[in-house]
Amino acid sequence: MPIDEALLERVLLLESVSEFLYREADLLDERRYTEWLDMLAEDYQYSVPLRMNVAYGETDAREETRAGREICWFDEGKETMSLRVDQLNTGLHWAEEPVSRVSHLVTNIRLEAIELPEVAVSCRFLVYRNRVADETDFLVGRRKDRLRQVGDSWQVVRRELLLDQSVLLAKNLSIFV
Amino acid sequence: MTTVEEPTGTGARQVRDLVDVRKGEISREIFIDEQIFKAELENLFPRAWLFVGHATQVPNPGDFFSSWMGADPVLLTRDDKGELNVLLNSCRHRGMRVCRYDEGNTLQFTCPYHAWSYSIDGSLVDTPGALHGVPQQKAAYGTNLERQKWGLVRAAKVHNYKGLVFANWDPQAPSFDEYVGDFHWWLDNLADAFDGTEGGTEAYRGVHKWRIRSNWKFVSENFLGDTYHGASTHASVEAVGIGPGGKGKRRHGERQNEGGFSKGRMKTSFRRGHGASDNLAYEVPYPEFAEDDLNDYFVAAWEKRKEKLQAEGRLLGGRGPATLFPNMSFAGGFPRTILVAHPISPTETEVWRWYLVDKSAPENVRDWLRHYYMRYAGPAGMTEQDDMENWDYATEASRGVVARRYPYNYQQGLGQETASDLAGSVHSHHAIAGEVNARAFYRRWAEFVDNLSWPELTELARVDDRATERDADVTDVADGVKVLDAVDVVDGPPAQ
């Protein structure tokens, strides 16, 4: 049977992207935040809009707040991400001191567009946080990433994350989702 | 031991006995106990003026915004005449929430359960929120259903204060103006634009909503005047700095050489329970921004505002954190934001945060503030994350049988209050001694929870018995003789 070269290339690309996203999750869970920052492009943009309960016919117009204009959980770039890492590294950031135990699960990874050197990737995330004793949070939702090929690896250029909660059931978002 | 004149009393147990403001001791029970929580829901929230939402969230006829008053879901609506209404979001037939959308536009709410419908269209019903349609009314009820009697329950009083919409369930309650008193200066600084334009603000779209495992009063107390916690709680964000351009301390390089945020900081505490933490005689005008165009906007706004204040013969700062009794906290400066602590149980609270911006702000100002607010406040904000850790674990560690035997200490600045010319209030010049405000808050809280009548509540609030000597600075301010350039600032510690 002849090898479908295009398909093979796509599979290899997906494998490379998946490997990158899993490694990213590991770095976060192992609290190797400085190394993790290196995985973000200098023009990195991170947005987590608010989700709302709206009528079926109004979902397109109203269900999420708009990054760039309205209040979100996050809507920021690499500079603020770096400040957040600095804050975690002070050892005085009580929301994460003692540190939480966190597992990032990344799944349903799909290549949505291949525009090398960039690719658009969609996935689902499940972030579990357990803290101190009985404090347990599940943050679940959809994610869209834009990755850029840099050498033989990738950088995250854009990340938009849709958290499946309208009222945040966690007391804060002091971990990187 | 009670701290006010012997009450008329409504039961064997007085919550006032748990709040000893003369000794500066407050029982942990009021943060933990289920019965006290129920008494709060019964006697406090249905009688107090509560913040419901911002008028700019419902700009057009038919717009609605879902909110809470205490433990009751409500709808803030704008009817077809442009009037604001606050309606209990619960069907009169079986109680189902007639609307489970956070916001939207409709002139009718139809209950999903049995389809009773309620109109806010005044051309169909006499009163917006009245019962409009009942399926098979004739077959089910004959001629016996008095539709005019079974509309959505309406808040007895609704007040739009410069866009801030408040409501009260109690027809006997005093007017909003009386309830607020001279504390309105702080609301003005929240609701007016940076250049002083009255009511010149709007809410950004998007309300932060999140759950915490804390008693709701920790939130109110924190914003009343707890400047004490800043140095330890927010040490990490002070260390990394999140000011303009990502530099400086966590706030915004507040021109310390001109007075700054902390220098001259004092507390203002109202007998009615409201309180604020800032300096009446000095106002932090604006931060120093990395971007010139931002500086231009805020400098121009400040110049206008200064003129307006001088024309009014007053010199009021008051942009720091504040709490309007019982559960609306806010800050008029940076971030300019409203926070409401909705009670769920003694140990659970849902916190909502709105953010305000000048209606006339250009895009770059709007965008800069939005970014600043998000990195500062709310559950993802670098400052507020650490507050919730404290409130949650303070609540948890106070639940124990032994812990509950030991009261909290509220003795900061005890007996050192100075009288104010603002009606029914005192000041404390201790820059970090915020507990004068907390003591007043809990005393007032206990009077409500013990269900004192409105005449009793009014009488108690008439005179502030905490201080007899006048505060010279503030007398001057209130007399309108001070000018902006001749302000004495009281020295205080450099950081909050």
Q: Can you name the CATH fold of B51-158?
A: Rieske Iron-sulfur Protein (2.102.10)
Best probe of the A interface among B205, B339, B347, by most A CBs < 10 A, is B205
How many angstroms separate the CA of residue A63 from the nearest CA in chain B?
A: 10
Level-2 CATH architecture, domain A5-163: Roll (3.10)
CA distance B190 to B186: 6
Q: By the 8 A CB rule, do B107 and B78 touch?
A: no
Q: Are the Cβ atoms of A50 and B207 closer than 8 angstroms?
A: yes
- What is the tens place of the pLDDT at every residue in B299-320? 999 899 888 888 877 666 678 8
Residue B449 clears pLDDT 80, i.e. is over it: yes
- What is the tens place of the pLDDT at every residue in A36-92? 999 999 999 999 999 999 999 999 999 999 999 999 999 999 999 999 999 999 999
Contact of A166 with chain B, judged by CB distance below 8 Å, is answered with: yes
Mean pLDDT of all residues in A129-141 = 97
Q: Do B51-158 and B175-467 fold alike per CATH?
A: no
Nearest residue on chain A to B364, alpha-carbon basis: A69
B23 or B489: whose pLDDT is higher?
B23
Res B490: pLDDT: 34
Res B231: pLDDT: 86
Best probe of the B interface among A163, A174, A175, A177, by most B CBs < 10 A, is A174
Residue B10 clears pLDDT 80, i.e. is over it: no
Q: How far is CA A136 from the centre of its chain?
A: 19
Mean pLDDT of all residues in B45-60 = 98
pLDDT bracket for residue B448 (50, 70, 90) = very high
Contact of A47 with chain B, judged by CB distance below 8 Å, is answered with: no
Beta bridge mates, B426: B269, B419
Contact of A33 with chain B, judged by CB distance below 8 Å, is answered with: no
- The residue extents of the domains of chain A are 5-163
Res B310: pLDDT: 82
How many angstroms separate the CA of residue B432 from the nearest CA in chain A?
A: 21
Which pair of structure tokens corresponds to residue B178? 């009386």
Nearest residue on chain A to B214, alpha-carbon basis: A171
Question: Could you write out the three-class secondary structure of chain B?
Answer: CCCCCCCCCCCCCCHHHHEECCCCEECCHHHHCHHHHHHHHHHCCCCCCEEEEEHHHCCCCCEEEEEEECCEEEEEEECCCCCEEEEECCCCCCCCCCCCCCEEECCEEECCCCCCEEECCCCCCCCCCEEEECCCHHHHHCCCCCHHHCCCCECCEEEEECCEEEEECCCCCCCHHHHHHHHHHHHHHHHCCCCCCCCCEEECCCCEEEEECCCHHHHHHHHHHCHHHHHHHCHHHHHHCCCHHHCCCCCCCCCHHHCCCCCCCEEEEECCCCEEEECCCCCCCCCCCCCHHHHHHHHHHHHHHHHHHHHCCCCCCCCCEEEECCCEEEECCCCCEEEEEEEEECCEEEEEEEEEEECCCCHHHHHHHHHHHHHHCCCCCCCHHHHHHHHHHHHHHCCCCCHHHCCEECCCCCCCCEECCCCCEEEECCCCCCHHHHHHHHHHHHHHHCCCCHHHHHHHHHCCCCCCCECHHHHHHHHCCCCHHHCCCCCCCCCC
CA distance B355 to B384: 14
CA quadruple B203, B207, B213, B215: dihedral, nearest 10 = 30
Best probe of the B interface among A74, A78, A87, A89, by most B CBs < 10 A, is A87
Q: By the 8 A CB rule, do B186 and B325 touch?
A: no
Decide: residue A162, CB within 10 A, 0-12 exposed, 13-18 middle, 19+ buried.
middle
Which among B336, B369, B320 has a CA at the least distance from the CA of B222? B320
- The residue extents of the domains of chain B are 51-158, 175-467
Residues of A in contact with B103 (CB under 8 A): 52, 54, 62
Measure Cα distances from A98 to A92, A94, A131, A133, B183 in Å: 9, 7, 8, 11, 40
Residues from B contacting A (CB-CB < 8 Å) are: 100-104, 106, 204-213, 233, 235-237, 239-242, 246, 350, 355, 367, 370-371, 373-375, 378-380, 382, 384-386, 388-390, 392-393
Q: Which amino acid is at B487?
A: V
Mean pLDDT of all residues in B374-401 = 96
Q: Are the Cβ atoms of A58 and B386 closer than 8 angstroms?
A: no
CA distance A123 to A108: 5
Res B485: pLDDT: 39
Which among B237, B229, B227 has a CA at the least distance from the CA of B263? B227
Res B254: pLDDT: 55
Res B421: pLDDT: 85
State the first-to-last Cα distance of chain B, in angstroms, to the nearest integer: 34
Average pLDDT, chain B: 88
Q: Are the Cβ atoms of B385 and A95 closer than 8 angstroms?
A: yes
CA distance B372 to B366: 10
Does the domain made of B175-467 have the CATH classification 3.90.380.10? yes
Res B219: pLDDT: 97
Residue B245 clears pLDDT 60, i.e. is over it: no
Residue B247 clears pLDDT 80, i.e. is over it: no
Contact of A138 with chain B, judged by CB distance below 8 Å, is answered with: no
Contact of A14 with chain B, judged by CB distance below 8 Å, is answered with: no
Residue B20 clears pLDDT 80, i.e. is over it: yes
Nearest residue on chain B to A85, alpha-carbon basis: B240
CA distance B238 to B251: 8
Best probe of the B interface among A78, A94, A96, A139, by most B CBs < 10 A, is A94
Res B489: pLDDT: 35
Contact of A59 with chain B, judged by CB distance below 8 Å, is answered with: no
Mean pLDDT of all residues in B355-381 = 96
pLDDT bracket for residue B481 (50, 70, 90) = very low
Contact of A37 with chain B, judged by CB distance below 8 Å, is answered with: no
Measured between CB atoms, which of A90, A171, A174 is closest to B392?
Answer: A171
Q: Supply the pTM of this predicted model.
A: 0.93
Q: Are the Cβ atoms of B205 and A65 closer than 8 angstroms?
A: yes
Q: Are the Cβ atoms of A166 and B209 closer than 8 angstroms?
A: yes
Nearest residue on chain A to B109, alpha-carbon basis: A55
B171 or B421: whose pLDDT is higher?
B171
- What is the tens place of the pLDDT at every residue in B139-189? 999 999 999 999 999 999 999 999 999 999 999 999 999 999 999 999 999
B411 or B463: whose pLDDT is higher?
B411
Q: Are the Cβ atoms of A90 and B384 closer than 8 angstroms?
A: no
